[in-house]
Amino acid sequence: MSATQTPYVVTATPVPPAGPQEVYILSMMDSGYAHLCAFSPQGMPLTRLTADPWDDITPNLSPDGNQVAFASRRNGYWDLYLLNLQSGIITRLTDTMEYEASPSWSPDGLWLVFETFRNGNFDLEILSVNNPGERQRLTDQPSAEHSPVWSPLGRQIAFVSNHTGENEIWVADLDKIGDERLFNVSQNKQASETHPAWSPDGNFLAWSATPSESSLNGIYILNRLKPASPVWLGSGDWPIWNPDGTQIFSLLAAPNDTFLEAFALTGNYSLPPILLTGSLRGFDFGFVNLTSPLADSLLLASNLTPTPLFVTITTPVQEVPDNRLNLVALPDVQAPYARMLDILDESFNALRQRIAIDVGWDALASLDNAFVPISIPLNPGLGDDWLYTGRAFSLNPILLDAGWIAIVKEEIGQQTYWRVYLRTRAQDGSQGEPLHQSPWDINARFSGTPIAYDQGGQPVSNIPSGFWVDITTLARDYGWNRLPSLSNWRSYFNGTRFGEFVITSGLDWQTAMLQVYPPEIFITPTNVIPPSKTPTRTPWNYRTPTSTLTLTPRPTYTQQP
């Protein structure tokens, strides 16, 4: 996988082939919002289907390929909607102040199962597509149940539940009643499992899992006809089966990039990883009926040119030497040195304003650090940190102790990264989303538990309630990427670097430093080691005494008479 692969970009003039075709339906971050897009590597470029200033997430194709069910906050709260791919008409299904998302179709296309966040907890409900007011509660447990997917056979629904304390894959049997209808199919407390997916024949169930002992995210498949241990297929997340059940499509997450990939059931790649331009908030794959040309509303969305999130403006300064960049002040920001490169301050200010709107409070008004002069030493291990370059900033760690920040640990390759969530000021559902994953409790390392100490903490036992904003994903849209933790982060808090974001512009650290400082900063004096002293005889003011041989008479032998 090349780090410089050209990502697929949204086309402005899509001409989809006529008739049903295998198409991805994506919810992808695009200019600060999650928009629905259609894409096929075999003949359809990445085509925007929605383009409004709000988020459309968790799309799911209807069995006939004519409609997409999805969640949107276009009315101010998260509700369910239908997009007709033939006409482009969007129909509202629910109208509540509660969070509702992750819809999944029944095989006959008459019902939807979805997750809802009520009274601080996730549960599952079913509604009629033709009569959305007809709703039934599927689960009502103290644990969290979410991410449902309806079996093609019609009588079972797989979902994620933390009933045992860890996210596991469960199945609800619709032919039973009460708690007997719910049973655990993964039964693995040593892994966090998410995103179940049925095969088209309903005989196989796939999901993604992160085992705690290895922390390697992967796709697992369970054969329901021959129950045994799930089989590992390959690295990835969010599996989706193709219509004939011969391949599994999934996401491949890099630290700051997202790829689409596909596996044959043998574990071999059937589609090389495809780099996307933004993070995904859900996707589906199947036969789609798109008109050619697209419906007017879809065509309008696909041809829309998004407004840039910010415009870079630089101010020439004569005092700055050639080939060096100017540092400018960050207005109304509290930091030891509230400055940043002139080419990046517009991006920072735009991100700050967007976070303040989405979260309801100005989280970037007080920073732990922005630019740090080279004369100021940072904490041990951070001698070559990006804060010295004027290209980075770090959040105030006090927010973590105050409960306004939650961090989720993500192991990617051999490095540890963090996904940062900010708690919203309004907790009525108009801002943010509920958390689906358990945040990491760094302070648990001081609890006296050996395992928590060795791991540098542990997941919190109960997922924090309320609504949060993923600023890691949001910052990426503005060009800001996260950094990995230092290798000693488990025993060294400052090594976590959970709140540090940087725009490297493809530069290495030394080149970035030379945009601010002269080359002489890398010239260090060479210590001249004096020659070792040669030991010499020390003169003394007296003569060393010498031994004098003294003769001693030898006894003589006297013979006895």
What residues pair up with 446 in beta bridges, in sequence order?
Answer: none
DSSP 381: T
Parallel/antiparallel/unpaired status of strands 269-275 and 280-288: unpaired
Q: For residue 304, is pLDDT > 60?
A: yes
pLDDT of residue 50: 96
Please, which pLDDT band fits residue 500 given cuts at 50, 70 and 90? Answer: very high
pLDDT of residue 187: 86
**322 in Cβ contact with 95 (< 8 Å):** no
Place of tokens 């697209």: 294
Mean pLDDT for the stretch of residues 542-560: 68
pLDDT of residue 11: 58
**In the Cβ-directed half-sphere of 378, how many Cα atoms lie within 13 Å?**
21
pLDDT greater at residue 538 or residue 30 = 30
All domains in the chain, ordered by first residue: 21-303 (2.120.10.30), 327-522 (no CATH)
Write the CB contacts of 234 (distance below 8 Å, at least 6 apart in sequence): 218, 219, 250, 263, 267, 269
Mean pLDDT for the stretch of residues 352-372: 98
pLDDT of residue 92: 97
- What does the pLDDT look like over 154-165, one tens digit per residue? 999 999 999 988
What is the C-alpha separation between 148 and 97, in angstroms, rounded?
Answer: 21
pLDDT of residue 2: 42
Which strands sit side by side in the sheet containing 500-502, from one edge to the other? 367-369, 392-395, 500-502, 481-482
Please, which pLDDT band fits residue 517 given cuts at 50, 70 and 90? Answer: very high
pLDDT of residue 139: 93
Q: For residue 310, is pLDDT > 70?
A: yes
What is the C-alpha separation between 332 and 339, in angstroms, rounded?
Answer: 11
**431 in Cβ contact with 412 (< 8 Å):** no
Helix (H) or strand (E) holding 295: none
pLDDT of residue 6: 59
Calculate the alpha carbon distances from 226 to 185, 204, 230 in Å.
Answer: 13, 10, 10
- Tell me the pTM: 0.89
What is the C-alpha separation between 420 and 501, in angstroms, rounded?
Answer: 11
pLDDT greater at residue 499 or residue 520 = 499
What residues pair up with 459 in beta bridges, in sequence order?
Answer: 440
- What does the pLDDT look like over 421-441, one tens digit per residue? 999 999 999 999 999 999 999
Q: Extract the tokens encoding 208.
A: 């993604």
pLDDT of residue 1: 42
Q: Extract the tokens encoding 318.
A: 């004569």
Give the percent of the chain with pLDDT over 90.
Answer: 73
Q: For residue 347, is pLDDT > 50?
A: yes
- What does the pLDDT look like over 13-56, one tens digit per residue? 455 555 678 999 999 999 999 999 999 887 788 999 999 999 99
Cα end-to-end span (Å), the chain = 116
pLDDT greater at residue 417 or residue 556 = 417
Q: What is the mean pLDDT of the chain?
A: 91
Mean pLDDT for the stretch of residues 360-376: 97
Mean pLDDT for the stretch of residues 76-87: 96
pLDDT of residue 473: 97
